[in-house]
């Protein structure tokens, strides 16, 4: 592979500069994305492999990122399981949410093929388009994060319905989590078979749980999913949000890297985790709303906060790129990372 910085970082090899890609690097802040979105709905875009590939490549073509993440959405597996999914101005909405044992029984574990998931076709096309230039990242939501949407119906800061379901009907909750986990295993496996070099699992809502609930309802299913994916020999990145209180348990997972939000101190996490798990992140995406001088300063500070960033570190945001982000500020962040290879004064020396 011509640019294997990401793969080397995930394998804990020394790199001349941190690899960089951004969550939601393809999205509403890009004018070329807006031109396509003005012609199709969000779901139509996700389900059109050719358009999804075009959108996936937009940030790579513009910024020369060190990876291309396929354009899709974490809720597509929920739709394929039998739920009615739509995207409104306020975000995703599931109209027939899960509220009973019977609802869970009606859910199917769909076949993971290109007919069911056009995303797989998109990855196949991406592989042909970019060849061995940079790695392709496939992804899914985590079992618990999908559980949240499937029982709540929409995005929430607290997911009261999801947590109520969890505590009032724990047996049904485990059944639903198991069904989601099996669905995600098939989906992620086929993404690798289609050509993904790296997988990222988004557990965006893990942080709303207590440590005890995380141990009961999240950790077993993540362990199961990751363990079943291990034979694929594909590095897995886990993203968690607002999860500082969960890190002692997350460290038990056999992942290549942990992607963190801006609330976590990367060096502190590295010291607690040791060198077994790489780190990804974790610039606050609101910093990209400021100006290029601030973006450059904050990006340098973030990287330099990790003593030995040359091993096992991937530069990213702590969440996705915000829709109103100036394109030139993304350029500033990416260019700052590129400059680390040319400025020895920025590098860590032991």
pLDDT one-digit tens code per residue, 201-213: 999 999 999 999 9
Least confident segment among 54-58, 168-172, 255-259, 274-278: 274-278
- 3-class SS string, 82-144: CCCEEEECCEEEECCCCCCHHHHHHCCCCCCCCCCCHHHHHHHHHHHHHCCCCCEEEEEECHH
Q: Nearest 5 degrees, angle CA 266-CA 346-CA 29?
A: 65
> How far is the C-alpha of 283 from the C-alpha of 263, rounded, in Å?
9
Res. 348: pLDDT tops 50: no
Reference 255, options 14, 75, 66, 12; nearest CA is 12
For domain 27-277, the question of CATH label 3.30.230.10 is answered with no
- Determine which helix (DSSP H) or strand (DSSP E) holds 92, and give its type and residue range: strand 91-94
Reference 53, options 36, 31, 39; nearest CA is 36
> How far is the C-alpha of 170 from the C-alpha of 186, rounded, in Å?
25
Q: What share of the chain is helix, strand, coil (3-state, %, to 5)?
A: 50, 15, 35
Q: Are strands 85-88 and 91-94 parallel, antiparallel or unpaired?
A: antiparallel
Strand ranges (E), 150-221:
198-203
Task: Copy the structure tokens of residue 266.
Answer: 């990367």
Cβ pair 314, 9 in contact under 8 A = yes
**pLDDT, averaged across the chain:** 95
pTM across the whole model: 0.96
Res. 121: pLDDT tops 70: yes
Task: Copy the structure tokens of residue 307.
Answer: 């003593």
Mean of pLDDT values over 294-305: 97
Cβ pair 137, 188 in contact under 8 A = no
Q: Where are the domains of the chain?
A: 27-277
Cβ pair 201, 142 in contact under 8 A = yes
Q: How confident is the model at residue 342, as a pLDDT?
A: 67
Q: What residues are labeled active site?
A: 24, 28, 37, 73, 149
Cβ pair 308, 349 in contact under 8 A = no
Q: Hey, CA dihedral for 252, 217, 196, 21, is it positive or negative?
A: negative
Reference 19, options 291, 260, 281; nearest CA is 281
Please report which confidence band the pLDDT of residue 343 belongs to, taking 50, 70 and 90 as the band edges.
Answer: low
Percentage of the chain lying above the pLDDT 90 cut: 92
């Amino acid at each position: 592979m011509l640019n294997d910085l990401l793969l080397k970082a995930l394998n804990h090899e020394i790199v001349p500069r941190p690899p960089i890609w951004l969550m939601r690097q393809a999205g509403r802040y890009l004018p070329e994305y807006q031109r396509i979105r003005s012609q199709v709905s969000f779901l139509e875009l996700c389900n059109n492999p050719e358009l999804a590939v075009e959108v996936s490549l937009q940030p790579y073509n513009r910024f020369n990122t060190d990876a291309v993440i396929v354009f899709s959405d974490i809720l597509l597996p929920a739709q394929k399981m039998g739920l009615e999914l739509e995207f409104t101005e306020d975000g995703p909405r599931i109209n027939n949410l899960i509220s009973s044992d019977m609802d869970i029984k009606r859910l199917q574990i769909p076949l993971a093929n290109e007919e069911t998931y056009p995303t797989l076709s998109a990855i196949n096309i991406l592989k042909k388009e970019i060849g061995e230039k940079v790695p392709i990242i496939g992804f899914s939501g985590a079992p618990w994060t999908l559980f949240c949407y499937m029982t709540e119906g929409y995005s929430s800061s607290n997911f009261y319905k999801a947590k109520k379901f969890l505590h009032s009907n724990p047996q049904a909750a485990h059944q639903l989590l198991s069904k989601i986990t099996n669905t995600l295993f098939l989906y992620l496996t086929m993404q690798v078979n289609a050509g993904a070099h790296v997988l990222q699992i988004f557990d965006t809502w893990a942080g709303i749980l207590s440590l005890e609930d995380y141990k009961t309802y999240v950790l077993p299913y993540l362990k199961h999913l990751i363990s079943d994916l291990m034979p694929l020999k594909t590095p897995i990145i886990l993203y968690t949000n607002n999860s500082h209180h969960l890190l002692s348990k997350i460290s038990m997972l056999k992942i290549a890297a942990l992607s963190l939000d801006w609330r976590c101190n990367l060096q502190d996490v590295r010291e607690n985790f040791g060198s077994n798990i790489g780190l990804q992140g974790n610039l606050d995406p609101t910093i990209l709303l400021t100006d290029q001088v601030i973006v450059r300063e904050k990006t340098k500070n973030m990287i330099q906060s990790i003593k030995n960033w040359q091993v096992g570190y991937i530069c990213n945001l702590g969440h996705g790129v915000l829709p109103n982000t100036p394109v030139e500020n993304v350029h500033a962040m990416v260019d700052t990372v590129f400059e680390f290879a040319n400025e020895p004064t920025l590098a860590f020396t032991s």
